[in-house]
Protein backbone atom coordinates (compact mmCIF):
# COMPACT_ATOMS: atom_id res chain seq x y z
CA UNK A 1 0.00 0.00 0.00
CA UNK A 2 1.27 3.46 -0.88
CA UNK A 3 2.49 5.69 1.94
CA UNK A 4 -0.23 8.30 1.29
CA UNK A 5 -2.85 5.57 1.75
CA UNK A 6 -1.34 4.64 5.12
CA UNK A 7 -1.36 8.32 6.12
CA UNK A 8 -5.00 8.68 5.10
CA UNK A 9 -6.07 5.49 6.88
CA UNK A 10 -4.32 6.45 10.11
CA UNK A 11 -5.90 9.92 9.90
CA UNK A 12 -9.34 8.38 9.50
CA UNK A 13 -8.67 6.09 12.47
CA UNK A 14 -7.70 9.11 14.61
CA UNK A 15 -10.77 11.02 13.42
CA UNK A 16 -13.11 8.12 14.25
CA UNK A 17 -11.54 7.70 17.71
CA UNK A 18 -11.87 11.45 18.30
CA UNK A 19 -15.56 11.40 17.34
CA UNK A 20 -16.33 8.43 19.58
CA UNK A 21 -14.59 10.18 22.49
CA UNK A 22 -16.83 13.21 21.84
CA UNK A 23 -20.00 11.10 22.04
CA UNK A 24 -20.60 10.36 18.36
CA UNK A 25 -21.73 6.94 17.15
CA UNK A 26 -19.90 5.79 14.01
CA UNK A 27 -22.46 4.40 11.56
CA UNK A 28 -20.24 3.83 8.53
CA UNK A 29 -16.64 4.27 7.46
CA UNK A 30 -15.59 4.64 3.85
CA UNK A 31 -19.14 4.30 2.56
CA UNK A 32 -19.29 4.04 -1.23
CA UNK A 33 -21.92 4.10 -3.92
CA UNK A 34 -20.44 3.99 -7.39
CA UNK A 35 -17.78 6.69 -7.48
CA UNK A 36 -19.22 8.51 -4.46
CA UNK A 37 -17.51 8.16 -1.09
CA UNK A 38 -18.04 9.39 2.45
CA UNK A 39 -15.14 8.99 4.89
CA UNK A 40 -17.28 8.76 8.03
CA UNK A 41 -21.02 8.76 8.64
CA UNK A 42 -21.76 9.39 12.31
CA UNK A 43 -24.72 10.22 14.53
CA UNK A 44 -25.03 12.45 17.54
CA UNK A 45 -28.14 13.81 19.21
CA UNK A 46 -30.41 12.76 16.32
CA UNK A 47 -28.28 14.38 13.62
CA UNK A 48 -26.59 12.48 10.81
CA UNK A 49 -23.07 13.84 10.44
CA UNK A 50 -21.14 13.38 7.20
CA UNK A 51 -17.45 13.77 7.91
CA UNK A 52 -14.69 14.44 5.40
CA UNK A 53 -11.25 13.64 6.81
CA UNK A 54 -8.22 15.44 5.43
CA UNK A 55 -4.85 14.14 6.59
CA UNK A 56 -1.34 15.45 6.00
CA UNK A 57 1.93 14.18 7.43
CA UNK A 58 3.10 17.82 7.59
CA UNK A 59 1.93 21.24 6.49
CA UNK A 60 4.94 21.75 4.20
CA UNK A 61 2.68 21.68 1.12
CA UNK A 62 -0.26 23.37 2.84
CA UNK A 63 -2.85 22.78 5.52
CA UNK A 64 -5.33 19.93 5.06
CA UNK A 65 -8.16 22.48 5.25
CA UNK A 66 -6.93 23.93 1.95
CA UNK A 67 -7.88 20.66 0.20
CA UNK A 68 -11.60 21.25 0.93
CA UNK A 69 -12.39 22.84 -2.40
CA UNK A 70 -15.88 23.79 -3.57
CA UNK A 71 -15.74 20.78 -5.92
CA UNK A 72 -14.93 18.42 -3.03
CA UNK A 73 -17.79 19.90 -1.02
CA UNK A 74 -20.19 19.36 -3.92
CA UNK A 75 -19.05 15.73 -4.27
CA UNK A 76 -19.64 15.13 -0.56
CA UNK A 77 -23.08 16.76 -0.73
CA UNK A 78 -24.01 14.53 -3.65
CA UNK A 79 -22.74 11.42 -1.83
CA UNK A 80 -24.68 12.41 1.31
CA UNK A 81 -27.86 12.88 -0.72
CA UNK A 82 -27.44 9.39 -2.17
CA UNK A 83 -26.74 7.93 1.28
CA UNK A 84 -29.85 9.53 2.78
CA UNK A 85 -32.07 8.37 -0.09
CA UNK A 86 -30.68 4.81 -0.18
CA UNK A 87 -31.18 4.44 3.57
CA UNK A 88 -34.56 6.24 3.71
CA UNK A 89 -33.26 8.73 6.28
CA UNK A 90 -35.15 11.97 6.84
CA UNK A 91 -33.22 13.24 9.89
CA UNK A 92 -31.31 16.50 10.12
CA UNK A 93 -27.85 16.28 8.58
CA UNK A 94 -24.62 18.22 8.91
CA UNK A 95 -21.27 18.34 7.13
CA UNK A 96 -18.12 18.32 9.26
CA UNK A 97 -14.47 18.35 8.29
CA UNK A 98 -11.75 16.81 10.43
CA UNK A 99 -8.16 17.73 9.65
CA UNK A 100 -5.31 15.63 10.96
CA UNK A 101 -1.68 16.72 10.86
CA UNK A 102 1.01 14.82 12.77
CA UNK A 103 -1.57 13.36 15.14
CA UNK A 104 -3.19 16.74 15.84
CA UNK A 105 -6.96 16.74 15.20
CA UNK A 106 -8.98 19.83 14.25
CA UNK A 107 -12.76 19.36 14.02
CA UNK A 108 -14.88 21.85 12.09
CA UNK A 109 -18.52 21.20 12.96
CA UNK A 110 -20.94 22.44 10.31
CA UNK A 111 -18.00 23.29 8.08
CA UNK A 112 -20.26 23.99 5.10
CA UNK A 113 -23.88 23.82 4.00
CA UNK A 114 -25.43 22.46 0.82
Predicted confidence (pLDDT) at residue 36 exceeds the cutoff of 60: yes
Residue 59 has pLDDT above 80, yes or no: no
Q: Residue 64: how many CB atoms within 10 A of its CB? A: 19
Biggest alpha carbon distance in the chain? Answer: 42
Q: What is the pLDDT of residue 1?
A: 43
pLDDT band at 107; cut points 50, 70, 90 = very high
87 phi, psi to nearest 5 deg:
-105, 10
C-alpha 45/C-alpha 92 separation (Å) is 10
Residue 61 pLDDT: 76
The answer to whether the beta carbons of residues 40 and 29 sit under 8 Å apart is yes
pLDDT score at 103: 80
Q: What is the pLDDT of residue 83?
A: 98
Walk me through the domains of the chain, giving residue ranges and CATH numbers.
3-112 (3.40.1350.10)
Per-residue pLDDT tens digits for 83-103: 999 999 999 999 999 999 988
Mean pLDDT over residues 35-60, rounded? 93
Q: Give the residue-averaged pLDDT of 16-34.
A: 97
Amino acid sequence: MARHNNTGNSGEDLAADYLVAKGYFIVERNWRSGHKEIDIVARREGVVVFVEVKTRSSEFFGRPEDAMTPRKMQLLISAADTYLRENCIDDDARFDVICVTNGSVRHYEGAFRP
